[in-house]
Structure 1
């Protein structure tokens, strides 16, 4: 069996004396693993770095086999991203989120979002906005999407400033005021779209929101911890004065 596709390299590990097992997020075949023979050579190592976009050929005798990759670089992102701690931790965070999804399940929207993110991960403030949106997308793909389009109590679509921790639905300012201390804050940039930029406070609120539902619906039920890379990413943003801590008031 054989297929051709493009993909983003998420990581690799050594295999034998000279090969590697490559992990990629592909456009048409989801997150996929495969062996690259000679992947530790001087010629292959620069290509097989996390964040690089590659053209892939995969072949195996049977579909369920690990298979073998041939990879050719399309876009070298790794060197640029490695100059930024936020970008490095951000890429590791994205890879961790993608590993929550079943291997080989196709998620074209996540793939397109990943391409956009790779172009902006070294832009500290914009990277924060995009990673927060990516986490919402991952929750959606896992079946735990939040409904941020209208107020759960009244149906209005304006002044949406809270999210119910029970239902994951937006709540308007007026309807949520009596329970504001029990509500999660809904930052405006997540409702108003990409044209609205986030300030550092809004970014902190966004990551508290996504972190709450990732923990409730994904980490705790699976008995796993939040990826260390996510904490590293938020810390890198904090050091750049881009976002306050998740536990900040």
Structure 2
């Protein structure tokens, strides 16, 4: 058995004396693990950094086997973020969420394209808003997309201010005011109303996190990846200190 594909490195865990088990998000075959020999050499360590875009060739005797990877680096993403701990934390968070949420060996080309686009835009001035939209896109790809098109109570699409934590549907300001303590705030930038300031981005992260944990990650044992929790806390602290969106 053998195939080649474009891929993104999600993680690499040591295996034995010099190998590693690399988990990749491939374009055509979804989340897929394989053994990388010589993973501790300087060259392979650089290739196996989380978030790197690689050309992957997988081989195994039978389809159900772990198999081995031969990897060639296409683009190093993490290397360009070493001086920016917050954006680097976002990269690690995105890869950890992808690994935790996607089923193994199930094709999700849209998830691959979405993660690729996020990683390419981490140097954008609006990277944090893009990250929130990426998390909501991951929910959509997994079949848990939110309905932010109109108010669940009135059917109108003006003054949307809340989201039902149960159904994921938007609720307008007037219809939800009496239940605001039981609803999730909807940041305006997600419905084309207002800027993505730090407070809005944090509300977006809380919104996406609620549904990721409740729906996309509920079947797993680990729950929300610690890398995502660390990213949100780091964002909260640094943006509170600066008082503005970090660019």
State the match for 1:151 in structure 2. Answer: 151
State the match for 1:198 in structure 2. Answer: 196
The range that moved more, 208-217 or 234-243, is: 234-243
Matched-pair contact (CA < 8 Å) for 2:51–2:92 = no
State the match for 2:127 in structure 1. Answer: 127
Aligned-residue offset at 1:215 = 2.9
**Residue aligned with 1:240, SS:** helix
Partners of 2:209 and 2:104 in 1: how far apart?
A: 23
Aligned-residue offset at 1:166 = 2.5
Q: How does 1:90-101 map to 2 (within 5 A)?
A: 90-98=90-98, 99-101=100-102
Aligned-residue offset at 1:243 = 9.3
Matched, 1:230 2:231: no
Aligned-residue offset at 1:127 = 2.9
State the match for 1:240 in structure 2. Answer: 238
Partners of 1:116 and 1:170 in 2: how far apart?
A: 26
Matched-pair contact (CA < 8 Å) for 1:160–1:186 = yes
Aligned-residue offset at 1:220 = 5.3
State the match for 1:247 in structure 2. Answer: none
Aligned-residue offset at 1:8 = 0.8
Q: Which runs of 5+ in 1 are unaligned?
A: 245-249
Aligned-residue offset at 1:83 = 2.5
Matched, 1:114 2:115: yes
State the match for 2:104 in structure 1. Answer: 103
State the match for 2:245 in structure 1. Answer: none
Partners of 1:70 and 1:212 in 2: how far apart?
A: 38
**Residue aligned with 1:205, SS:** helix
Partners of 2:149 and 2:241 in 1: how far apart?
A: 25
**Residue aligned with 1:209, SS:** helix
What's the CA shift string for 1:189-224, capped at 9, x where partnerless? 11229xx64011111211121122223334556453
The range that moved more, 51-60 or 169-178, is: 169-178
Size of the alignment, in residue pairs?
241
Matched-pair contact (CA < 8 Å) for 1:204–1:243 = no
TM-score by length of 2: 0.88
**Residue aligned with 1:46, SS:** helix
Any runs of at least 4 consecutive aligned residues in structure 1 with deviations exceeding 6 A, and if so which? none
CA RMSD of aligned residues (A): 2.3
Structure-2 change in CA distance of 1:159 and 1:115 (3 Å): same
State the match for 2:210 in structure 1. Answer: 212
TM-score by length of 1: 0.87
Partners of 1:13 and 1:215 in 2: how far apart?
A: 24
Structure-2 change in CA distance of 1:166 and 1:18 (3 Å): closer
